[in-house]
Structure 1
């Protein structure tokens, strides 16, 4: 079973000013991104704010439809889904969101929050559903009887465990983790990351982790995809990308990350300028105005996506 996006593109109408809601251009949030994740592996998607990471997550969750490109699940395009396919997809692909404070309804008991994704009216008794809720609460390290409580009675880390339990209740194969630890205290982050790693090993889950926290992505990911201004700039095995980044943007991004050991610290690469506007991105390579190694053709010609070595892909004129 595989989740695969090919040429995924998402443009939003740009509105504002005195146009009374009329569009005056397009926000090019995502442009021609191709990624895939198979059962049991973890794809880390990293990049600065505005790189398109969250838009990609929304496409995976069918919260947005792509402007172009295709998303396939188990070999079938989502555009061709019937009701049965859609229900199967919803059960198989679940999400854990960034903020455990806003993603849980404060007026609902935890048992009802966790049971929300379970299908209704399919002959499954309330007793069976209640037992499944107790199972997943225990699985994420909470008491089996904690379902009678409300979200405000839990700490931030415990609330994120509730969110993870809700994602697991349908026996999914894929979890989309959108910044799963960035809203938590540093002392709690390691606990949640360890929990996610254990759950993946026990349940053979596949993860897509969306993060600007490179340490969190490295801890979970088997493959890393680096995004910049709506484009994919590099993909490869996580350890290989960290050891020898191909794209100048990846190199700069990793130089800003705290290493696992002080001796592994990289020379800091400070980029000039800002991430370009998604309404009017630069011609050629979108990174060229900030790239310390830009070539003359970088401002004129968009680089091809190529395999530089087995399993290592990049879009850069240096290769």
Structure 2
């Protein structure tokens, strides 16, 4: 071996050792968790609880950055194009799957632009209405909606929002198109429901629990497989007469494609520890949800969930014909 080739080999070995050491020391600085929705919303609430707890295990602060707009696709695109070094992660909900069909043009390939860390939680939905709406149970609500389909309004927080997806599923289940009223966020939509300007909304327990408990809106059903401890007297949608109507707004953590496996492993471990944090579990319970299990808080489980949900929602979205440019 020549002196020059020996020098090259030594340099390559040193670079490999340095890279390995760098990954072993990960993280060495602040990690940014991008939430593709506005601060104060349901997904932001989940993210901030998890980020705070993950920071303790990782030994570095995990800060939340809100990059809202275009149904979550702007924030997802921001992460897809970020450096794949483990210092930029994405916490997104079910919209990660539905945007693949809802948006005719995306700046990223949903299934190939990200690596996976794990599932965080699956938040149940609630079918609610303004408090003075005439129906008293889900069966009479369906009959009322069908009989007044040209005037009954269904509010949502915008294309791709959880409330938009659940509203589409509700209209598909009752085989009736209603008047859809999109807002620029969950807050304005709930404000108008509270004020009686719109009739119905289907949204996450993280956004409706306080109003249901306060009696300021009328609740008809939860969309979980079983009744919730927080609302023991509120029937499931299936119990209320909508067979197969089960939907939860699941959340997962992603990184840009090509993130070093060592970094993903540390993020996965920190996520799993965060989901065992008593404070996180208690706050999730107050919001009508619970942390994902260790089996679900894994890259493989999140990847399988995303692929399955894209396949599930594609025909529903195509039937509704509610696309975004």
Do they fold alike, i.e. is TM over 0.5? no
Question: Which TM class, normalised by the smaller chain length?
Answer: under 0.3
Q: Which has the higher strand share?
A: 1
Structure with more relative contact order (C-alpha pairs < 8 Å, separation 6 or more):
2
